[in-house]
Structure 1
């Protein structure tokens, strides 16, 4: 075992209900973001920067969209012909409901196998729906210095930045400099601040294996990030404060807001102009074409796009077409969307390969984002 090496286990089984129809055929980690990325790119980029060689992706269903995007992991320099690499374990949802379906393999069999073969001394465990840019090397350094069982990555949020559901699920109570416990509801400080965990944990592989053994004995079957919260009271906990931008993508409104947040330079800088580059799978395509009559302001526009109409405060992914006299305001258009002449889109999310006919209107509001599912055909009235 290489004492200071790190492996990683990433949970891609989070509840997608409040993000439908965008998550009908993809996990949250597979959602497009900021015109050219996927949400999983942020976690994979952080792992790559930390020189993590072995990554286990535990996926709820088949994971086809994730396989297509990640492939060998070469885009993040996570491929390896000698040791390590990206390993995928699918159908976790079924396995959780049938934890003893195989007399030789329980629910945690693949977790144990991955950890034991990783040749690592430490494991970084995380979910996959947080947009952030975390220096895992700094997390390791603090973990070693403080000599606690588990280091929890957390952030100070303004109370008005987070939902009641987030405070219920991720609240942290400190006792001095140490984390005392996770709580079902966190009480804001006098300054209106709350400490919320980012669903990221750092611990030794040996400690993780011990927790898996205990969970098996107790017949507790959870994803590892959930399991660490479950057994938190039996561990000494250290907190690592993350100070950059972070967003928990668990609803349509959160997904929309996180994309729109990037139109603010301070937010963009916090995510993309740090020492940790955000990487993604490269896709070859033509530069975007802006027709002489086009008007584009305060927007992210992916490659291979054709714009002849008006686009303001919007995020356009690759291969989008916005025809003459069409108007796109405060919206997100995913890959391959075609907006016909004179069409109007406001406060909407349009999933990939959707055709909006000439003259059609999709009008939402800041508190009522309209969502059009993949491969739809929107007609004019």
Structure 2
């Protein structure tokens, strides 16, 4: 609301940071962006704000995603939510929710914005500023996944079974640094059967796993099969149980001789800490 001080904490943080530039990154885009390259463009064009975008197909866009209309040299001519576009084409300039801004300008803009009733979402605020100040858009051409639904989350995980997409995301010039958790290696029995899957450490695999991603400390018992699924940490799949096209959150236990089955279009989702004692068919 107008006159409310909802950006004050952010402004205080920016003032204390004493950084020349501020980077804002939203939380639903999976990509590996070289921010140093974006900063070079930002500096060379003497922008107040620079947005990162990618050309994507309409199937990879959520209804409330922001779309850019661009002029020469990436200048931003307009922004609109996807569902507000009057004409629909095949590809669009999707705002990735990644911005670099001059900190001094951003502090002043946020202060003026909250006094004028600007959007409380910083991402929406930054998008709204693109057409008001000197700005441009930087095109990202690497792997990207826009995660806005269960289906898109599932597909982003399945993409990691594609070596080309996996290497593009994780083994580019930009390192991906995660927390180290040293554990024993995953153990595969002689009777286990594994195809096109990824495993974290500490698992025990006795059954069949195919086209799946298996997180730490997961157990797949004898006669069990896991196909086209994403299993979070400490899952337990009982003997002779079938898990197909499913997403299991952490600490899920599935009893023996059961069926958990979805489809690639609508995978079954099992909540965290659930103990499954009966079949679950369909999403």
TM-score, normalized by the shorter chain, greater than 0.5:
yes
Gaps of 5+ in 1: 1-96, 101-105
Equivalent runs, 1:223-234 vs 2, <5 Å: 223-234=121-132
Report if the CA contact (8 A) 1:188-1:194 is conserved.
Answer: no
- CA distance, structure 1, for counterparts of residue 88 and residue 183 of structure 2: 48
2:15 alignment partner, one of 116, 137, 145: 116
Relative to structure 1, is the Cα distance of residues 216 and 163 closer, same or farther in structure 2, using a 3 angstrom cutoff? Answer: closer
Match of 1:107, SS state, is coil
Q: How do residues 46-65 of structure 1 correspond to structure 2 at under 5 angstroms? A: none
Q: Where do residues 124-139 of structure 1 align in structure 2 (5 Å cutoff)? A: 124-139=23-38
- 1:173 aligns to 2:72 (yes or no): no
Counterpart for residue 202 of structure 1: 100
1:187-219 CA-to-partner distances (Å, cap 9, x unmatched) read 566xx3211110111110011011111112113
Match of 1:314 among 187, 212, 227: 212
Question: Structure 1's 380 and 224: CA in aligned 2 closer, same or farther, altered over 3 A?
Answer: closer
Distance in 1 (CA, whole Å) between partners of 2:215 and 2:156 is 15
Q: Distance in 2 between matches of 1:232 and 1:244?
A: 23
Structure 2 length as normaliser, TM-score?
Answer: 0.92
1:220 aligned residue (118, 135, 138): 118
TM-score by length of structure 1 reads: 0.69
Displacement of 1:164 in angstroms is 5.1
1:271 is paired with a residue whose SS is helix
Q: Distance in 2 between matches of 1:365 and 1:203?
A: 43
Q: Which residue of 2 aligns with 1:333?
A: 231
Secondary structure at 2:65's aligned position in 1? helix
Q: Give distance in 1, aligned partners of 2:121 and 2:107.
A: 13
The structure 2 residue matched to 1:148, chosen from 47, 56, 65, is 47
Separation of aligned partners in 1, 2:9 and 2:218:
41
CA drift at 1:337: 0.4
Q: Describe the SS at the equivalent of 1:233.
A: coil
CA distance in 1, matches of 2:72, 2:8: 38
Q: CA RMSD in A?
A: 1.7
Distance in 1 (alpha carbons) for counterparts of 2:175 and 2:130: 32
| Paired residues, number | 274
CA distance in 2, matches of 1:239, 1:112: 24
Deviations 1:287-336 (A, max 9, x none): 00000000111011110000000000000000000000000000001000
The CA distance in 1 between the partners of 2:143 and 2:67, in whole Å, is 18
Aligned mates of 1:306, 1:203 — CA distance in 2: 48
Cα distance in 1 between the residues matched to 2:226 and 2:123:
39
Q: Which residue of 2 aligns with 1:182?
A: 79
The unaligned stretches of length 5 or more in structure 2 are none
Contact 1:306 1:319 in 2 (8 A): yes
Q: 4+ runs of 1 displaced by more than 4 Å?
A: 186-189
How far apart, in 2, do the equivalents of 1:128 and 1:169 lie? 13
